[in-house]
Amino acid sequence: MLGTDFSGELDFWEGDWLVSIRSVPVLQSVLVQRRDKDVVLESVRELRYGGWGITLVVLLLTFVLSRRLSHNLAAPVFTLTESVERISEGDREVSVDVNRKDELGKLAQQFNQMAVSLRDTQAQLVQTEKMASIGHLAAGVAHEINNPMSVVIANMTMMKDYAATYVKLAELFSRYLKTQGEESDERQGILNELEAFEKEEDIGFVHQDMKALLQDSLLGLSRVQHIVSSLKLFSELDKSEEEDIDLKETLEQVVSDVAPSQTRQVEITYDIELDSKVRVKPEQMRRVFSAVIDNAIRACVDKGSLRIKACRQDSVLIIDFQDTGCGMAPDQVSQVLDPFYTTREVGEGIGLGLSVAHSIVEAYAGTLSVVSKEGRGTRVRIALPER
């Protein structure tokens, strides 16, 4: 082995030794170094155990620091994330309490300012929407009331002229009565004047036209009265008390009350998949059902069918009214929930039924949707959250 480097184990000596042999050409010699193997391995083991200890200490410190960082950084971020989710779900009364002066604290302050701004904006939007709804409703009321009132005013103008005719006729007749029992030229003159006036004014036509004008005026005033009484519903949505009702029994009662002669021409079936009663305001819900069922029955001009289905889906009460009537065009569907919109003939409806029903359902935090196709029928779906 002279002239080469060697590192390994040798059995020249008794026991286990670790030997390192290295040639030293400068000294023309060989350097042999030996150590007891057990002593060397013990040092290695001590070094290894020491490394494990250091590793455990490092891991422990890392865990403590990570928990600390998680508490200082992750927790506020999680709170902000949760608050953002609550805002996205519609909860505007959200505030983040992060008492810090670093970037996270600034972010929390900006978030709180944003939440306040959103609340103010939402309040303004709600107020704007209310004003727009009131304006739309007022315009509809003005239009609907103006039509019959225009007829009434025109009739009253004509009846005013007829009243003058009647006054003149009454004066002539009174003068004629005062000459009763007398045979004189004056009495005959008044009689001739009466006959001439009757022919000139066509009193018979005046009688008939006056009756027609009065009847039209009464119909117009009755329509105005109906509109006003229907509008009262918007201010009475929250006055009744909630009760538990049997939905099928209530629907059957509404069907029997809505146009009994027409319901006999329409096949009505019920598919009520409910195992308990429903808590609602009975009078309001009857009005909703009445509007929907009345429209469905009237849509079935020929013999058709109406299927009423009710079930619960994820704590939401779903009520479907599916008819096989004439259906509606897309532009009609888009307006069917607007106040005073109707597809019926003049005098058959004022267009407030579905609008009032929609307002009542919205007061329950529910939805009323309409899907229709011409010639195929219409489906009205009412979704109410369980109370």
Q: Which two tokens stand for residue 322?
A: 């599916």
Which of 233, 255, 283 is the last residue before a domain boundary? 233
Residues 249, 379 within the same domain: yes
Closest C-alpha to 336, from 356, 355, 317, 314: 355
Does some domain include residue 131? no
Q: What is the pLDDT of residue 167?
A: 85
Question: What was the pLDDT predicted at 177?
Answer: 77
What residues contact 370, with CB distance under 8 A and at least 6 apart?
333, 336, 337, 354, 378, 379, 380, 381
Find the helix or strand (DSSP H, E) in which 20 lies. Answer: strand 17-24
d(CA 276, CA 286): 18
**Same domain membership, residue 197 and residue 212:** yes
Do 69 and 198 fall into the same domain? no
Task: Flag whether 54 is in a domain.
Answer: yes
- Asked if residues 252 and 184 have their Cβ atoms less than 8 Å apart, the reply is no
pTM comes to: 0.48
Number of domains comprising the chain: 3
**284 and 374: one domain?**
yes
* Domain contains 305: yes
Which residue type does 264 have?
A: R
Residue 258 belongs to domain with CATH number: 3.30.565.10
Q: What are the φ/ψ torsions at residue 328 (nearest 5 degrees)?
A: -135, 155
- Same domain? 245 vs 153: no
Alpha helices in the chain (DSSP H): 37-69, 75-88, 103-178, 185-201, 203-231, 247-257, 260-263, 282-299, 330-333, 353-363
Its domain, for residue 340, covers: 240-385
Assess if residue 21 is contained within a domain. yes
The Cα-based distances of 12 to 15, 16, 38, 113 in angstroms read 9, 10, 17, 86
Domain boundary among 32, 49, 80: 80
pLDDT of residue 29: 73
Residues 227 and 266 in one domain: no
Residues of the chain with pLDDT under 70: 1-19, 33-40, 43-44, 69-78, 80, 84, 87-104, 122-123, 125-141, 143-144, 181-183, 230-240, 259-264, 301, 341-351, 387
Residue 346 lies in a domain: yes
> Quick one: 329 and 249 in the same domain?
yes
In a domain, 125, yes or no: no
The verdict on 305 and 206 lying in the same domain is no
Residues 245 and 378 in one domain: yes
Query: Measured in whole angstroms, how far is the alpha carbon of residue 256 from the centre of its chain?
Result: 30
Q: Is residue 329 part of a domain?
A: yes
On whether residue 99 sits in a domain, the answer given is: no
User: Same structural domain for residues 72 and 195?
Assistant: no
Both 272 and 216 in one domain: the answer is: no
Last residue of a domain, one of 199, 233, 267: 233
- Same domain membership, residue 368 and residue 275: yes
